[in-house]
Copies of this chain bind each other. A is one copy, B any other.
Amino acid sequence: MPNIFSSIENIRFNIFELHKIQDILNSEYYQDHDEESLDMVLSSVMDVAEKDMYPVFREMDEKPAYYEDGKVIIHPAVDKMLKIATDNGWLGSHFDYDDGGSRVPMMLSGAASYIMACANNNVGGYIGLTAGAANLIITFGTQELKDLYVPKMLSGDWTGTMALTEPQAGSSLSDITTKAIPQEDGSYKIVGQKIFISGGDGPNVDNIIHLTLARIEGAPAGTKGISLFVVPKNRISADGSLEDNDVITAGDFQKMGQKGYSTVHLSYGEKNNCHGWMVGVENRGLAHMFQMMNGARLDVGLTAAGVATAAYYHSLQYAKERPQGRKLSKDGTKDVSQQQTTIINHPDVRRMLLLQKSVIEGAFSLITECYKLEDQERILEGEAKEEAHLLLELLTPMAKTYPAEMGQVAITNGLQIYGGYGFCTEFPLQQYYRDIRIMSLYEGTTGIQSLDLLGRKVTMQNGRAMQILTQRISETMAASASYDDLKPYAAKLQAKLEMVQEVMTYLLPFAMKGDYEKYLADASIFMQMASNIVIAWQWLKMGVAAKEILLTKSKVGLASSFYESKIETMKYYYKYELPKVDACKEILTNPEDVTLSKSAEANILFS
Contact = CB atoms under 8 A, between A and B. Distances in A.
Interface stretch (A150-158, A203-211, A424-432): A424-432
B348 A568 contact: no
Contact of A447 (B175, B348, B426, B606): B348
Given A357-B606, A514-B331, A171 B419 contact: yes
A201 B382 CA distance: 72
B353 A606 contact: yes
Interface of A: 165, 168-172, 174-175, 195-196, 221-223, 253-257, 316, 320, 322-332, 334, 336-337, 340, 344-351, 353-354, 357, 408, 412, 415-416, 419-420, 422-426, 430, 433-434, 437-438, 440-441, 445-447, 450-451, 455, 511, 514, 516-517, 519-525, 559, 561-562, 564-565, 568-569, 571-572, 575-576, 579-580, 582-583, 586-587, 590, 592, 594-597, 599-600, 602-607
A161 B284 CA distance: 65
Contacts of A331: 514, 516
A516 B455 CA distance: 48
A416 B170 contact: no
A607 B565 contact: yes
Given A447-B348, A559-B607, A412 B437 contact: yes
B172 A423 contact: no
A303 B223 CA distance: 45
B336 A222 contact: yes
A196 B328 CA distance: 27
A595 B354 contact: yes
Given A255-B423, A568-B600, 16 more contacts: A254-B425, A254-B426, A320-B602, A329-B516, A330-B516, A332-B516, A347-B521, A347-B597, A348-B523, A416-B440, A416-B441, A430-B437, A565-B606, A575-B587, A576-B587, A579-B587
Contact of A586 (B316, B433, B582): B582
**Most chain B C-beta atoms within 10 Å of own C-beta, residue among A422, A517, A562, A596:** A517
A420 to B, nearest CB: 5
Contacts of A165: 420
Contacts of A594: 350, 354, 568, 571-572, 575-576
Q: Which of A434, A447, A450 has the most CB of B within 10 A?
A: A447
A334 B441 contact: no
A522 B355 CA distance: 13
Contact of A605 (B175, B254, B350, B597): B350
A441 B455 contact: no
> Which of A450, A525, A559, A595 gathers most chain B CB within 10 Å?
A595
Contacts of A580: 580, 583
21 contacts: A168-B323, A171-B324, A172-B324, A195-B420, A253-B424, A254-B425, A316-B606, A327-B517, A330-B514, A330-B516, A331-B514, A332-B519, A344-B602, A347-B522, A350-B594, A354-B605, A416-B447, A419-B441, A419-B445, A565-B600, A571-B592
A460 B168 CA distance: 58
Contacts of A606: 316, 320, 344, 353, 357, 565
B348 A450 contact: yes
B437 A256 contact: no
A455 B412 contact: no
A170 to B, nearest CB: 5
Nearest to A419: B170
Nearest to A195: B420
Given A408-B412, A594-B575, A604 B565 contact: yes
A420 B446 CA distance: 12
Given A253-B424, A447-B348, A575-B587, A171 B596 contact: no
5 tightest A-B CB contacts, nearest first: A222-B336, A565-B607, A256-B430, A579-B583, A332-B516
B334 A222 contact: yes
A408 B446 CA distance: 17
A173 B587 CA distance: 42
Contacts of A455: 332
Nearest to A64: B425
Contacts of A221: 336-337
Contact of A425 (B255, B325, B357, B440): B255
Contacts of A324: 169-172, 175
A408 B334 CA distance: 32
Could you say which of A170, A323, A445, A572 has the most chain B C-beta atoms within 10 Å of its C-beta? A170
Contacts of A351: 521-522, 524, 595
Contact of A422 (B441, B590, B599): B441
Contacts of A253: 420, 424, 426
B604 A564 contact: yes
A603 B316 CA distance: 11
A530 to B, nearest CB: 16
A459 to B, nearest CB: 9
Contacts of A440: 416
Nearest to A355: B595
Contact of A423 (B257, B323, B408, B420): B257
Nearest to A196: B420
B174 A334 contact: yes
Interface centre among A424, A519, A575, A606 (most CB of B within 10 A): A606
